[in-house]
Homo-oligomer: A and B are copies of this chain.
């Protein structure tokens, strides 16, 4: 899976750039416009979620997208501020109890920089597999809980009050405490904005098609819901001076790229933020490659996971130095980019150019943007992230997954994002190990007249008094060897006439050293009881490995190619039928 490190691998742009064509340029340009329309309001909104000034969202988007275009291996991924990572940024910073805005900006720079370095390091050392240790249901539960927290964190802007917190309990307490200060004007604008954006997603498209506009243009226009709401509400606020009636506005957004500057470093701050930076890096990476991989596969393309780490790492370094905050490949934006026809990472570059133009020339207009409008955009954006069905699905499918899901969901909601995701990851690993430490072990017997062996408790099969056939449905490794030993000796004490034990190894994919030692102990102990131990149907790679040891010399019995052969060879002809 690993290719040698080369310039063209490190810079995929050298490969796709050489084959760039007019038609690809056309495709990328259309996608860039569609994504920019979506990303402009989201950039501002997610900046506020991260606790940053709104314009930081522009810097993060512009530098994230541009740098990704040079390093990224996905033709569809749209890198920039995303909801969950922005929330995690705010959560990481809230622990530091910073007071001045300068300190906050500096801390966010450190966090973003660190997570960039961490991603780069994982990529360079080919450690992308570490992301695999977060299970799908845990990610679903975490994203759902994080989205809920984001949603509730926007309620304050919807009501025109001040009520923040790092978990659901804190948020609800704060909201209930200030409920009496609610502004009905703000709430009305907020609800109308939400309804309009929701309607625009499908209703507007149908309307436009009915009005005779062609399908693909209608789809593009239907994406303009959030930006239209922003324009309309800002115009209303300006023309009716709604700020004088208590409507909170976004206020001054500095023109240009003023955030860009020479970074300072504080080792103390960095060590305080290191844990958070690692979590942000991993969650951002997992979110990013999940969508990147599934979109690439739909066009028989492939993305290179280690290169994606390098690309995301570089994007975050860029965002940090530009005065942005952590970025990642956004789920919905990438899907939009893909569906709008993005052919190469150049689409992201063009999006960055469009956003730069907005940042340079249109920021004065943003002064009049009501904050409730951004809250409405965020609330609609997090709806697709909510997946409560994972609770029901995991309950029905696997109690182990359900336990991990519940732990992640509850702890994220009640304690906070960092604790929640960490607990979820540990829980899923622990539960997995626990399950494999108590494997399914079946005493098997022969279906009369065949060479098939089945569980004596499930099937009517023939067994023999002098013979115990055991099938272990798990690889043998340190966590389950003692369980197997104990179970085996229990079964042996129950059969007084026993002469032979045959371990059927069809489902054993691995025997580690602990298991080898355990098999040796079992062999010795059975020998002292005058019972011989046999193996059957051991797989090739395990045979190769066992052959390097003294095991087969010490084994009192044989190693049979087929289990039936073993039973034919060893049984005492006294057939006992199982009752099942």
A residues near B, CB below 8 A? 1, 129, 131-138, 289, 293-294, 296-298, 300, 302, 305, 393-394, 396-398, 400-401, 428-429, 432-440, 458, 473-475, 477-483, 485-487, 489-490, 492-493, 506-507, 509-510, 512-514, 516-518, 521, 525, 528-529, 539-541, 545, 548-549
Q: Which residues on B sit within 8 Å (CB–CB) of A400?
A: 512
- Complex formed: what's the CA distance from A509 to B514 in Å? 20
Query: How far is B296's CA from A493's CA once the two chains are assembled, in angstroms?
Result: 12
Contact of A474 among B302, B429, B509 (CB under 8 A): B509
Do B132 and A440 touch across chains, with their CB atoms under 8 A apart? no
A479's closest neighbor in chain B, by CB?
B132
Q: How far apart sit A135 and B133, CA to CA, in the bound complex (Å)?
A: 21
Q: How far is the CA of A132 from the CA of B487 in the complex (A)?
A: 14
Instruction: Give Cα distance in the complex from A293 to B529, angstroms.
Output: 15
- CB neighbours of A525 from chain B (8 A): 294, 297-298
Query: Which of the residues B134, B393, B473, B481 comes within 8 Å of A549, measured between beta carbons?
Result: B393
**B545 contacts A514, C-beta separation under 8 Å:** no
The residue that A483 contacts in the complex, of B132, B439, B490, with Cβ under 8 A, is B132
Kindly list chain B residues whose C-beta atoms are within 8 Å of the C-beta of A401: 512-514
A528 with B298: CB separation less than 8 A: yes
Q: Which residues of B contact A489 (CB under 8 A)?
A: 296-297, 300, 302
Residue of B134, B294, B493, B518 near A302 (CB, 8 A) is B493
Q: Are B513 and A136 in contact (CB under 8 A)?
A: yes
Report how far A300 CA is from B294 CA in the complex, Å: 56
- Contact across chains for A396 and B514 when beta carbons are under 8 A apart: no
Residues of B close to A477: CB separation below 8 A: 135, 432
Contact across chains for A397 and B516 when beta carbons are under 8 A apart: yes
- Contact of A136 with B1 in the complex, beta carbons under 8 Å: no
Per the bound structure, the CA–CA distance linking A516 and B540 in Å amounts to 28
For this complex, 21 residue pairs linking A to B, each with C-beta atoms less than 8 Å apart, are A129-B483, A132-B437, A133-B437, A135-B513, A138-B478, A293-B485, A293-B486, A297-B485, A302-B486, A305-B486, A397-B549, A398-B512, A401-B514, A432-B478, A432-B479, A436-B510, A473-B539, A473-B541, A474-B475, A506-B506, A507-B509
Residues A293 and B509 in contact in the complex (CB < 8 Å), given A397-B548, A438-B129, A525-B298:
no
> What is the bound-complex CA distance between A458 and B544, given in angstroms?
13
- Cα distance A21–B541 in the bound complex, in angstroms: 53
Instruction: Check B129 against A437 for contact (C-beta < 8 Å).
Output: yes
Which residue on chain B has the smallest CB distance to residue A390? B513
Given contacts A293-B486, A305-B486, A401-B512, contact A133 B474 (CB under 8 A): no
For A137, give its contact among B293, B490, B513, B521 (CB under 8 Å): B513
Contacts A136-B517, A302-B493, A489-B297 given: A131-B398 contact, CB under 8 Å? no
Cα of A134 to Cα of B487 in the assembled complex, Å? 19
List, in ascending order, chain B residues with CB within 8 A of A436's CB.
Answer: 475, 510
- Given A478-B135, A506-B506, A507-B507, A129 and B434 touching (CB < 8 A)? yes
Residues in B with CB closer than 8 Å to A492 are: 300
Bound: A294/B438 CA distance, A: 20
CB contact under 8 A between A133 and B305, given known A507-B509, A525-B298: no
